Amino acid sequence: MSSKILPSRTTSATLVSRQPLPSKAPPLPAVSLIVAMTPDRVIGRDGDLPWHLSADLKHFKATTMGQPVVMGRKTYDSIGRPLPGRPNIVVTHNSGLRIDGVTVVNSPEQGLEAAGNAAEIFIIGGARLYQTALEQADHLYVTWVLAKVDGDTFFPAVDWSEWRLLQRSAMQFEKNFAFYFAVYRRRRNPVD
């Protein structure tokens, strides 16, 4: 009489499913650029903003509060102090630069690393840092200042077909400037 070996009801798939699942890596933080600009992409003149709009400054503060802000050294110099309530990261080629209350790094990549595990990282300028970070950006927070102003600093050209408008505020008026706030998300696929 021959005996048959019957297949076991316990399969390797069953055994594997009883193994603890590997933990998921934390999601990467969203990289967001926040900027006030004209339709001609003007963002600055003589190292400063070509306008002073208190509503825009309040919007900037409310949007970035509690999140890391990454900026170039010239942008930091124009602000003149660390922005309170958020980690400040300054990108500079000057490896000897030290600023109290600020993390100083030597590349945009180091700036993103220094931001740690924040949910969102805000790139706040200047033009060179915007140019470098635009390719990686997930969101654009734009204050559209509807004016014709002279400027010497510009936001990089944007292919708007790659971006989807998520929010747009009502038109606001202050100091002879008309402006509104808009938030865009990068399209990750054609139907996005």
- Specify the DSSP class assigned to residue 20: P
The confidence score (pLDDT) of residue 5 equals 42
Selected residue with higher pLDDT from 39 and 191: 39
Q: Report pLDDT digits (tens) over 87-138.
A: 999 999 998 999 999 999 999 999 999 998 899 999 999 999 999 999 999 9
pTM: predicted TM-score of the whole model, two decimal places: 0.84
Report the mean per-residue pLDDT for the chain: 89
Q: Which CATH number describes the domain made up of 27-186?
A: 3.40.430.10
Instruction: Give the pLDDT band of residue 33 (cuts 50, 70, 90).
Output: very high
Domain layout of the chain by residue ranges: 27-186
Taking the C-alpha atoms of residue 109 and residue 63, their distance in angstroms, rounded to an integer, is: 22
DSSP string, 22-84: PPPPPPPPEEEEEEEE-TT-EEEBTTB-S---HHHHHHHHHHHTTS-EEEEHHHHHHH-SPPT
The confidence score (pLDDT) of residue 13 equals 42
Q: Report pLDDT digits (tens) over 3-28.
A: 444 444 444 443 444 455 555 666 77
Taking the C-alpha atoms of residue 127 and residue 65, their distance in angstroms, rounded to an integer, is: 22
